[in-house]
Amino acid sequence: MTQSLYIEQYSERSDRLDSAESAVLTEIGRRLLAGSGYDIPATDIPVFKQIGRAFACDPLDDRSDCWFTAKSIVSINQDGENWRLVVRNRWDQEIILNSKFELVSTRRLPRVK
């Protein structure tokens, strides 16, 4: 995830989550080695404007080399017809997408103590 969230639906099946995750990562690696990189049909969901630069960059630091990125994906789950993603950088950010992967909402989550 950079300035946008890119979503590609992976249609293969697996009996366990860990084997599904492994298969997806293997497929991404295969595409990168084949030279196709991330040039794949994917849904582009611009989230930078909704979340803001401070998610990744300290507002007091105006370095030009600070990029808007998520450091990790905390969770992905389906909530009724919607998808709920939680991504982490300087804080956790919730992103809600509908069943067509369109942005519904986004909000900063409170820190867990």
Query: First and final CA of the chain: distance in angstroms?
Result: 26
Residue whose structure tokens are 């040039």: 39
Please name the residues in contact with 38: beta carbons below 8 A apart, sequence gap of 6 or more: 6, 31
Please name the helix (run of DSSP H) or strand (run of DSSP E) that holds residue 27, with its range, or none.
helix 17-33
> In whole angstroms, what is the distance from residue 43 CA to residue 88 CA?
21
Look up the pTM and report it: 0.67
For 88, phi then psi, to 5°, come to: -125, 135
109 pLDDT higher than 90: yes
Locate the domains of the chain by residue range: 4-108
pLDDT, tens only, 36-60: 555 556 667 778 778 887 888 887 7
pLDDT, tens only, 58-98: 877 766 666 767 788 888 888 899 999 888 888 999 999 99
pLDDT value, residue 63? 65
